[in-house]
Chains A and B, each alone.
Chain A
Amino acid sequence: MTALHRLIRDPRLFWGGLFALTLALSLFAGDLAKDIGAKWVMKFPKPLELPLDKLISAAMKWLLEEAAIGPLSFHAVTRFISALIEAPYLAVRGLLVDGLQRGQGSYAVQILPPLSWIAVTTIFCLLAWRSGRRGLVGLVGACFLYLAVFGRWESAMATLASVLISVPMGVAGGVALGILAFRHPWAERAMRPVLDLMQTVPVFAYLVPILFMFGFGPTAALVATVIYAMPPMVRLTTLALREVPEEVAEAGRMAGCTRRQLLWKCLIPTAMPMLMVGVNQVIMLSLNMVIIASMIGAGGLGYDVLTALRKLDIGGGVEAGVAIVVMAIALDRLSQAEARRVPGTGRGGRLVWIGLAVILATSALGYVLPFVQTYPAGATLTTGTIWAQAIEWININLYDHIEAVKVAILIGLLLPVKGFFLGIPWAWGIVAMGLIGWRMAGWRLGLMALLMTGFIALTGFWPEAMITVYLCGVSVFVAMLIGVPLGIWAGQSDRANTVLSALIDTLQTLPSFVYLIPVVMLFRVGDFSAMIAVVAYSIVPAIRYAAHGIREIDPQMVEAGIVSGCTRRQILWRIKLPLALPSLIVGMNQTVMLALSMLVITALVGTRDLGQQVYMALTKANTGQGIVAGLCVAFIAIMVDRILTAAARGMERGEAGHG
């Protein structure tokens, strides 16, 4: 009894023992089971699997075909929502891409042209000008010129139309729900778990049921985009309203505001800077999702990338990818400038007239001089061949080196880890997760981990889940290995901080889809490519939180170290790193979340994890499978999040290493 007690209390014994046991089981249990003919040890018995996916599929089918409240069928509701979204979308699309048309499809006759490329570029430059920053005008102008010059105009405008429709919807919905949560505690209690789940369920998993309900096309894509981009707005709205100083609310009440006046005249305007941060997030998430949603018919730039990837058209892929990047940067910087704009600065009124004048002038001129209306196809540039040649050159000259590195990492890192995770018998996996959860944060988390892992085994996705864990684990390990030293460097040197901040800001702006392009070009498909893409996408929080952790250290602590005669190395290892550890763990947590979300997208480059299951469900419109596999990913994310949060909290309380 005392021996068991010691085993549990002593952290080294507990974690060492757990790892040794798991390793031993992973190495030998498989062969052992084969010898005694107990196949169920490694493979979850088929008859016991929960046919959850079939149940969900059947339920969805029932919902769509038979469910009704009185005379109002569910199908009618989805049709109504479709129509509600489609009308404004078609209007904006008409404005930007198609022009005003009469008739349908290929018989359509254009009555009025869409906004000319000059007009759109000018409008966005004027928006930039409004913020009063000259540099921004140049940047935005250059971004839109790129889209025109490299022949991406139409796709870019289609994407822009989707963003322009989904952002107001996402913001309005988010603000409304956020206000509800702010006013009524019960609403917040009800919403929090849903929001948690929504932020961890992989993006593809959203697409499957929506595709099923709304059919293939831009409407489904828009619905998915709005749902995906809304949660952060809900959270930020509640938070921003809470952060308004109590005195401001009291001043409003003493002035005799009604509840409504208090909200709209005092609280919301005071919270506006933070709400604008939320708007920026909605814009970026919408763009990210619109790109991904090209798989269910959103069209636009995402579709260009997707077709280029399928055709292995290197130049086309890179240029469309850069177009996405360019658009993301323009929208991000514009919305950030707008968020930072303080009342009483910038320029207003007259700009509207300038904008209108340009629209009218270019539209009129466009009838006479076609190049004013549409950027002439003859004048477009393409760097496609250059990219193709560059990749070809790399493949010819550096192929051996790249291949050597790839094989070394595959054999030295990826395959052993993969073998380790796949070798773990499912039953032990469940027990081990339960133990870890219990050790980190008590029996509640232990039970939750036990149930969630058990759910994964029951669904029959155990091997896929293990591949997800392995790829995610390796990627996070590499991301931390590169990101933490960079972050420490940025935390200690201002110059490094400036450079890395610019890099991080750009990396964070890019839609996840873009990361696949160079990876596939250079490393082709497979686990290694997936790992590189995941690392590139998820490294940002590793760097950011490490730098933050180092910077936040009380300078007196460092001074105490200097006075005690520490060398620089000792100060780093003995003072700074231990103090920054909780921040590092939080960074790792964020890295894991980003890695999981990216991992699902890397299904496109041929991994065999849960993401692949979701992707397959998407192509087959198999709702049940998509939702169940998506839930598995969400459960993994939730478990990791809770365990790492508990670890960071324990460390801040100073329990690290003491047990």
Chain B
Amino acid sequence: MDRPVMLDCRGVWKLYGPNAETFLARHGAPTAETLRAAHLVGAVRAADVTIRKGEIFVIMGLSGSGKSTLVRCLSRLIEPSGGEVRFEGRDLLQMGEAELIDLRRKRMGMVFQHFALLPHLTVLQNAAFPLEVQGIDRKTREDRARAVIELVGLQGREGHYPRQLSGGQQQRVGIARSLIVEPDLWFLDEPFSALDPLIRREMQDELLRLQARLQKTIVFITHDFDEAIRLADRIAVMKDGAIVQTATPEELVLNPADAYVAEFTQHVARAKVVRLATIMAPLGAGPFAGDLPGQARVGDVADAVERADLPHRVLDEAGQPVGQVARQAVVDVLIGREVPR
């Protein structure tokens, strides 16, 4: 059951350098060598991304891999040199200024790496800013701002200025600001990269909590592979401006497309990504110790499976039993033996 497509981008290019557009129109799909010969830099090269409603789609890459440029092409903060971006089927790149502004005001939100709060506004005013530029009256917008500030757990600090807050708190304001228009499509550009590791983890939990409640479509940018597998429904790995592989965290770990992706995945604990449905054996006659969802990650249910003397039944998303899992299979994953597929 595929969810409807929210954002679809086909063959998106972003080249920097002299006459980038005409060069691209002439060459179609230039290689790295022809680009270098023309003194062009290929920040994003032939990127295909399909983002479905309600998923967390993570774009992962090291610095300079073009992930931030790609997300700016998707939100049209920068103009792609070529390709197609469709938002719910409408061509984003053909939209006029007014249409684009309207779309951003009603449907999109974005969180930035360095928070990008306005220094002269209080927390409340910052959060209310997107409503202010729409010309919504003060009472309405401040009521809404109070609600989102409470949602991100900053109640009591409405009158503070950004510089009086810690980094984590500032980013909560950034999140509140991006959520106030109740966007359908939510861009997060390395939102936790500028934070300390402990705070980062706390904010990731916070994001999952919010997502469980709000069910947004999320495009999340990060350079941290652990963060990516923790949050993602699907991950696109970027290198040198191109997307190397797009897959679920589990597929990525079990079947890396090339040596580059494998380098990220090899140190990831399998139990964090492998799901019960992947390691389950065919359904036997029983008896069973209990039922577990096939979507559950091995690490999360390992304790229960290991304790029980009997195997557990594995259920699919509709609640139908589809297989069983016993102690040995879980232990195999935990200690990192080759997982049979």
A-side interface residues toward B, CB under 8 Å? Answer: 245, 247-248, 250-258, 261, 265-266, 269-270, 272, 342-344
Contacts and interface: CB of A to CB of B under 8 A. Distances in A.
Nearest to B104: A256
Given A343-B120, A344-B161, A255 B112 contact: no
B104 A255 contact: yes
> Most B CB atoms within 10 A — which of A247, A255, A269?
A255
Nearest to B114: A247
28 contacts: A247-B113, A247-B116, A248-B116, A250-B72, A250-B77, A250-B112, A251-B112, A251-B174, A253-B77, A254-B104, A254-B108, A254-B109, A254-B110, A254-B187, A255-B129, A255-B130, A256-B181, A257-B101, A258-B133, A265-B129, A265-B132, A265-B133, A266-B118, A269-B118, A343-B121, A343-B161, A344-B161, A344-B164
Nearest to A268: B120
B157 interface: no
B251 interface: no
Given A245-B114, A253-B77, A254-B75, A270 B120 contact: yes
Given A247-B114, A255-B133, A258-B133, 14 more contacts: A250-B110, A253-B77, A254-B77, A254-B187, A255-B105, A255-B177, A256-B105, A256-B134, A258-B101, A265-B118, A265-B133, A272-B120, A343-B121, A344-B122
B206 interface: no
A261 B110 contact: no
A269 B112 contact: no
B143 interface: no
Task: Decide if the interface of chain A is mainly helix, strand, loop or mixed.
Answer: helix
A37 to B, nearest CB: 62
A257 B116 CA distance: 15
A256 B112 contact: no
Contacts of B163: 342
Contacts of B79: none
B91 interface: no
Contacts of A245: 114, 116
A253 B129 CA distance: 11
Interface string B79-119: 00000000000000000000001101110111011111111
B77 A269 contact: no
A261 to B, nearest CB: 5
Interface in B123-137: 129-130, 132-134
Contact of A251 (B72, B106, B110, B122): B110
A240 B130 CA distance: 24
A256 B76 CA distance: 12
B137 to A, nearest CB: 16
A255 B129 CA distance: 8
Nearest to A266: B118
A201 B165 CA distance: 48
Contact of A270 (B108, B118, B164): B118
Contacts of A261: 133
Contacts of A248: 116, 118
7 closest A-B pairs by CB:
A256-B105, A251-B116, A247-B116, A255-B130, A254-B110, A256-B104, A269-B120
Nearest to A256: B105
Contacts of A342: 161, 163
A272 B106 CA distance: 29
A149 to B, nearest CB: 40
B130 A256 contact: yes
Nearest to B159: A344
Given A247-B113, A250-B72, A251-B110, A257 B133 contact: yes
A248 B116 CA distance: 5
A341 to B, nearest CB: 11
A364 to B, nearest CB: 39
Contacts of A257: 101, 133
A518 B108 CA distance: 67
A657 B118 CA distance: 49
Nearest to A254: B110
B98 to A, nearest CB: 9
A586 B221 CA distance: 43
A252 B129 CA distance: 9
> Most B CB atoms within 10 A — which of A247, A256, A272, A342?
A256
A604 to B, nearest CB: 45
Contacts of A254: 75, 77, 104, 108-110, 178, 187
A255 B183 CA distance: 11
A266 B112 CA distance: 15
A266 B177 CA distance: 14
A19 B73 CA distance: 60
Nearest to B103: A256
A343 B119 CA distance: 8
B110 to A, nearest CB: 4
B85 to A, nearest CB: 15
Interface string B153-187: 00000000101100000000010011001000001
A256 B77 contact: no
> Most B CB atoms within 10 A — which of A254, A266, A269?
A254
A256 B118 contact: no
A265 B135 CA distance: 13
A247 B112 contact: yes
Contacts of A343: 119-121, 161
A130 to B, nearest CB: 16
Interface in B205-255: none
Contacts of A270: 118-120
A272 B119 CA distance: 10
A648 B177 CA distance: 47
A251 to B, nearest CB: 4
Contacts of A258: 101, 133
Contacts of B105: 255-256
Contacts of B108: 254
A45 to B, nearest CB: 51
A332 B101 CA distance: 43
Contacts of A247: 112-116
B99 to A, nearest CB: 11
> Most A CB atoms within 10 A — which of B75, B112, B113, B174?
B112
Contacts of A250: 72, 77, 110, 112, 116
Contacts of A269: 118-121
A547 to B, nearest CB: 29
B121 to A, nearest CB: 8
A263 to B, nearest CB: 12
A258 B132 CA distance: 12
A256 B101 contact: yes
> Most B CB atoms within 10 A — which of A257, A270, A342?
A257
Nearest to A248: B116
Nearest to A257: B133
A258 B135 CA distance: 12
A257 B113 CA distance: 20
Nearest to B180: A255
